[in-house]
Amino acid sequence: MVLLNVDGIECRYGSVKVLETLNLSVKPGDFVGILGPNGSGKTTLLKSISRLLKPHKGTIFLDDVDIYSLESIDVAKKLAVVPQDTSIGFSFKALDIVLMGRNPHMSRFQMESKKDMAIAKKVMLLTNTWQFANRPINELSGGEKQRVIIARAIAQEPKLLLLDEPLTHLDIMNQLEIMDLVKKLSSDGKIIILAVFHDVNLAARYCNSAILLKKGKIFSAGKLSKVLTSKNIKSVFNVDAIVQKHLVTNSIYIIPLSPQKTPQYRKYSIHLISGAGTGTGLMKILIDEGYPLTTGVLNVLDTDYETAKILKIPVIAEAPFSPIMETTRRKNLAIIKKASAVVVASVPFGYGNLQNLKTAREALGMNIPVYIIDELPIERRDFTNGKAKELFDDMKKNGAKFVKDQHELLALLHVSDEKLKTIQKNDIKYEAHLLPSTPSNKNMLHNEDE
């Protein structure tokens, strides 16, 4: 059964078209997050559904009836709205504000019944606002006031609840309390939720489906895994992002990446050995610092593999959940031979990726510097019965540089990069002295000095 059906609406403010040919269906059990950049039409969509802005074209059906043909009181029995900001001119008590949500269920001039009072108290307890019952609404903080407004909306006992950035003014604890409550109301089948979010991670955590708006049109709609992809986020928000499953909540989690700076170009190239997300932040830092970067071996679907693909870093890959094969290890070694140095992230080692550590040891034997980030002692991330620790100890004896964190790593890499520049510059000068003294060669030497 479709409760809400938005059929091809077009909305305008004067001559400016804000929504165009938009279709949407909301069914029982839906908790839909509406996402998009500023100006994409999110709030306008809610305004049109709540009858604040009649569409220029198209129809909105509520229980198969054109919502604009219904009386306001009939709409209010089925639909409630929590706007971005609510201005209340009179200093009503918080309880009186919540009781206003019962007005659609009361006849004209009827006083609140015991049932109305019981419902008001129940929703105020649910929203943790009962302690404000007798306080004037204008004496409450922004967050407290917002919770009272949400309580008022729930007191309407609507089938459909529209939330326009409902967490404005709320601190983290109150955000989670309200969202847990709204999610429970939705999952219990009592209220269907249509909510505008700016925080994609809150939407991903609580919603079961999402709509991405771009320039007044639906860019993508459906299940979260289909809508919230790195490709879609880049297309809609123009931001690179890593999308992964959160280890604690098991919900989709989006890590937006800052726009890449124009880096200082460095000749000191790095090959990064990482995995299980230990290289995700480091890749971005090294790229921003201007280091040519390669990485591997990484299993396809590993978080670091996904990051490398987003950042367009050359990566040596192995099949998902598979140990590193000898042919893949050789490819990794071949790309390492072209690098100025190898960096080993603070990655856990098991038998599946132990070959990466052996390859780093082999690089050290070829006089390629190896930097090992030792944030977490190897004993706590060695799942190879001590073989990884043996390799660590051997590399330490043979000149591998152990660093505490990425800041110490960058300091050492900067020193090595400057040394490489000096060596290359001196080599060019030396070679220039061996060339015949011609105008073109003099110009080449002059340009290098600059």
Listed residue (201, 195, 150, 165) closest to 32, CA to CA? 195
Task: Write out the residue range of the structural domain in which residue 62 sits.
Answer: 4-254
pLDDT of residue 2: 59
Per-residue pLDDT of the chain (450 residues; tens, 9 = 90+): 558 999 999 999 988 899 999 999 988 888 999 999 998 999 999 999 999 999 999 999 998 899 999 999 999 999 999 987 777 767 899 999 999 999 998 877 678 889 999 999 999 998 889 999 999 998 888 788 888 999 999 999 999 999 998 887 778 888 888 888 888 888 876 788 999 998 999 999 999 999 999 999 999 999 999 999 989 999 999 988 888 877 677 788 888 876 655 556 788 899 999 998 899 889 988 988 889 999 999 999 888 998 898 888 999 999 998 999 999 999 999 999 999 999 999 999 999 999 999 999 999 999 999 999 998 899 999 999 999 999 999 999 999 999 988 889 989 988 887 877 665 555 544 444 444 554 444 443 333 333
> What pLDDT shows up at residue 260?
59
Distance of CA 230 to the CA centre of its chain: 9
- In this prediction, residue 1 carries a pLDDT of 59
**Residues 189, 316 within the same domain:** no
pLDDT of residue 254: 87
281 and 248 in a single domain? The answer is no
- What pLDDT score does 424 carry? 58
In a domain, 420, yes or no: no
**Any idea what the Cα angle at residue 230 is, between residues 324 and 319, rounded to 5°?**
15
Instruction: Tell me which residue of 331, 231, 290, 233 sits closest to 420, measured CA to CA.
Output: 290
Same domain, 59 and 183: yes
Q: 161 and 102 in one domain?
A: yes
CA atoms 35, 38, 40, 41: torsion sign: positive
Q: What is the pLDDT of residue 426?
A: 56
Asked if residue 416 lies in contact with residue 377, where contact means CB atoms within 8 angstroms, the answer is no
- The residue from 192, 220, 254 where one domain ends is 254
Residues 355 and 240 grouped into a single domain: no
Q: How do beta strands 16-26 and 4-13 pair?
A: antiparallel
How confident is the model over 200-213, as pLDDT tens digits?
Answer: 999 999 999 999 99
Residue 441 has a pLDDT of: 43
The residue out of 225, 254, 283 marking a domain boundary is 254
pLDDT at 421: 64
Domain count across the chain: 2
Distance CA 269, CA 292 (A): 5
pLDDT by residue (tens digit) across 370-393? 999 998 899 999 999 999 999 999
**Same-domain pairing of 165 and 21:** yes
Say if residue 276 is in the same domain as residue 372.
yes
d(CA 80, CA 161): 5
Domain shared by 248 and 275, yes or no: no
Q: Is residue 446 part of a domain?
A: no
CATH number, domain with residue 160? 3.40.50.300
Answer yes or no: do 219 and 288 share one domain: no
Q: How far is CA 56 from the centre of its chain?
A: 34
Residue 75 in any domain: the answer is yes
291 & 228 share domain: no
DSSP secondary structure letter of residue 15: T
